[in-house]
């Protein structure tokens, strides 16, 4: 284990040690092995700097870090909310041995310089397929249309780059793996193009997977409490400015252009467009992606109501499950304590449970409020999950996919 030493404008490493790590000596060290540390102080979610600067992170594996081959990494969309966090993750804990970090942008940003922490000042290159193919791995943090147009061209052939795509462009393509490393990381093996899941799905599945292994899922019903960060930095900015205007008495109702309705002090039960069955596409993403990632049947019953609320970052989810096997809450608790990427926060006597305030900026997904379901009896359970939308829900997952592919030999220096 090592601490990243990089202190940059984007991120500063705090000296906070990990109480969670100390409390969880039995956390497994195989597969995705990191004890991603978490901090105990509440964090407010207003600025990226504040969110990330307090968090110290242990490297996934110093052995891997020092022994893995140096690889060149490209990021397309590095100035967006997810792209910024990808660079943060590469700086702060990743075991990827990055020989070169390249940033690709549009004509507008090409030629400008980005501070990328320990990788130094990097000049943004005009995106081009050939240049991107020179990298060993390329993270796409751009639109689905962009990915559809370029991802295959970047990755095809033996000399193409591994592409990890954050958009929804390829998630439902049966030939392209959709990966949460802790669940189906092995699906990445031998592939050049990997889809990163929807944020809501990834956060929820981190908790659902250990339960599926224990009790076998039969039905899943989810309701979400999704932060403005789901709409990127412009979404967070709109929430902040609208809240300010209302609190200052300048407006009764905030203005909106990013969200369908004003978000400050409101709740919007719509994320993404409506489908013919009455669900939104965001809700169907949870259904489709849960089935694919967990290897469940095509008609496996998963439903979601996706709701935008006025928080900045970290999505929360209530989840009700019916199970094939009777639920044992203590067994579930133990599984969560041992699962990589999960932090069990379930001490109701001390009023401790998952919250955006504590989960924001954390690599681990918080799980708590564990109880047998009054609806499904012994064969059911209800719980609450909160995860950082930009980390587990996007950037962290993508970087972990790359680490997994280094481990299974699918990603290395060309």
389 counts as binding a copy of itself under rule CB under 8 A:
no
| C-alpha distance across the termini of the chain, in Å | 27
Among 144, 232, 301, 412, binds a copy of itself (CB under 8 A): 301
Chain residues 163-182 in contact with a copy of itself, contact rule CB under 8 A: none
Q: Which stretch binds a copy of itself (CB under 8 A): 9-17, 100-108, 159-167, 259-267?
A: 259-267
Name the DSSP letter for residue 229. Answer: G
Nearer of residues 8 and 270 to a copy of itself, judged by Cβ: 270
371 counts as binding a copy of itself under rule CB under 8 A:
yes
Q: Which stretch binds a copy of itself (CB under 8 A): 58-66, 124-132, 135-143, 250-258?
A: 250-258
Site string for a copy of itself, 201-240 (x = CB under 8 A): ------------------xxx-x-x--------------x
Nearer of residues 35 and 43 to a copy of itself, judged by Cβ: 43
Q: How far is the CB of 399 from a copy of itself (least distance, A)?
A: 26
Q: How far is the CB of 307 from a copy of itself (least distance, A)?
A: 7
Q: Annotated catalytic, 315?
A: yes
Query: Distance between CA atoms of 103 and 245, rounded to whole angstroms?
Result: 36
Nearer of residues 21 and 256 to a copy of itself, judged by Cβ: 256
Tokens of 68: 């893995």
Residue 127's φ and ψ, nearest 5 degrees, are -65, 135
- Angle at which helices 199-215 and 281-294 pack, to 10 degrees? 40
- Is the sign of the CA dihedral 309, 311, 313, 317 positive or negative? negative
Among 17, 49, 50, 113, binds a copy of itself (CB under 8 A): 50
Query: Distance between CA atoms of 254 and 266, rounded to whole angstroms?
Result: 10
Nearer of residues 152 and 369 to a copy of itself, judged by Cβ: 369
Q: Which residue has the tokens 């252009």?
A: 257
Among 1, 46, 258, 296, binds a copy of itself (CB under 8 A): 46
- Classified as helix, coil or strand, 6 is coil
Burial class of residue 129, CB neighbours in 10 A (0-12, 13-18, 19+): middle
Q: How far is the CB of 153 from a copy of itself (least distance, A)?
A: 36
326 counts as binding a copy of itself under rule CB under 8 A:
no
146 counts as binding a copy of itself under rule CB under 8 A:
no
Q: Which residue has the tokens 């694919």?
A: 292
What does the CA dihedral 274, 275, 278, 280 come to, rounded to 10 degrees?
Answer: -50
- Element spanning 320, H or E: strand 315-323
Quick one: residue 186, left, alpha or beta (phi over 0 = left, psi -120 to 50 = alpha)?
A: alpha
- Classified as helix, coil or strand, 12 is coil
376 counts as binding a copy of itself under rule CB under 8 A:
yes
Alpha helices in 116-251 (DSSP H): 129-133, 144-155, 181-184, 199-215, 232-247
1 counts as binding a copy of itself under rule CB under 8 A:
no
Among 110, 148, 258, 357, binds a copy of itself (CB under 8 A): 357
Nearest-5° angle of CA 385, CA 348, CA 204?
A: 10
- Angle at which helices 199-215 and 329-338 pack, to 10 degrees? 130
Point out the catalytic residue in the list 135, 199, 294, 304: 199
Q: Annotated catalytic, 199?
A: yes
372 counts as binding a copy of itself under rule CB under 8 A:
yes
Instruction: Report, as residue numbers or ranges, the catalytic residues.
Output: 199, 315
Which positions lie near a copy of itself, rule CB under 8 A?
42-46, 50, 219-221, 223, 225, 240, 243-244, 246-247, 251-253, 260-262, 265-270, 274, 277-279, 287, 301-303, 305, 307, 309-312, 316, 318, 320, 329, 348-349, 351, 353-357, 368-377, 382, 384, 386
């Amino acid at each position: 284990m090592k601490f990243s030493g990089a202190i940059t404008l984007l991120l500063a490493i705090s000296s906070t040690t990990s109480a969670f790590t100390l409390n969880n000596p039995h956390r497994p060290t195989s597969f995705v092995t990191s004890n991603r540390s978490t901090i105990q102080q509440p964090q407010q979610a207003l600025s990226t700097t504040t969110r990330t600067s307090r968090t110290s992170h242990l490297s996934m594996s110093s052995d891997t870090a020092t022994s893995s081959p140096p690889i060149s990494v490209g990021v397309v969309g590095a100035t967006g909310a997810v792209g910024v966090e990808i660079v943060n993750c590469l700086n702060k804990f990743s075991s990827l041995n990055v020989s070169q970090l390249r940033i690709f942008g549009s004509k507008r940003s090409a030629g400008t310089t980005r501070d990328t922490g320990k990788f130094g000042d990097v000049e943004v290159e005009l995106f081009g397929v050939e240049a991107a193919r020179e990298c060993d791995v390329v993270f796409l943090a751009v639109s689905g249309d962009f990915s559809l147009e370029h991802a295959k061209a970047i990755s095809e052939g033996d000399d193409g780059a591994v592409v990890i795509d954050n958009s929804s462009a390829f998630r439902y393509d049966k030939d392209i793996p959709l990966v949460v490393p802790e669940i189906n990381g092995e699906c990445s093996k031998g592939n050049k193009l990997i889809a990163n899941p929807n944020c809501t799905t990834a956060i929820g599945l981190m908790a659902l997977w250990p339960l599926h292994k224990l009790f076998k899922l039969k039905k899943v019903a989810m309701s979400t409490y999704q932060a403005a960060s789901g709409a990127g930095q412009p979404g967070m900015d709109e929430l902040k400015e609208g809240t300010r205007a209302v609190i200052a008495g300048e407006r009764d109702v905030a203005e909106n252009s990013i969200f369908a309705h004003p978000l400050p002090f409101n709740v919007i039960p719509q994320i993404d467009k409506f489908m013919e069955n009455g669900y939104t596409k965001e809700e169907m993403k949870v259904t489709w992606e849960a089935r694919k990632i967990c290897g469940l049947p095509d008609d496996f019953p998963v439903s979601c109501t996706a709701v935008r609320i006025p928080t900045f970052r970290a999505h929360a989810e209530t989840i009700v499950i019916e199970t094939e096997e009777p639920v044992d809450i203590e067994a579930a608790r133990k599984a969560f304590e041992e699962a990589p990427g999960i932090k069990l926060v379930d001490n109701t006597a001390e009023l401790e449970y998952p919250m955006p305030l504590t989960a924001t900026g954390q690599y681990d997904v918080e799980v708590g409020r564990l109880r047998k379901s009054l609806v499904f009896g012994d064969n059911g359970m209800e719980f609450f999950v909160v995860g950082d939308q930009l980390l587990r829900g996007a950037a962290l997952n993508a970087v972990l996919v790359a680490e997994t592919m280094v481990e299974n030999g699918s990603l290395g220096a060309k």
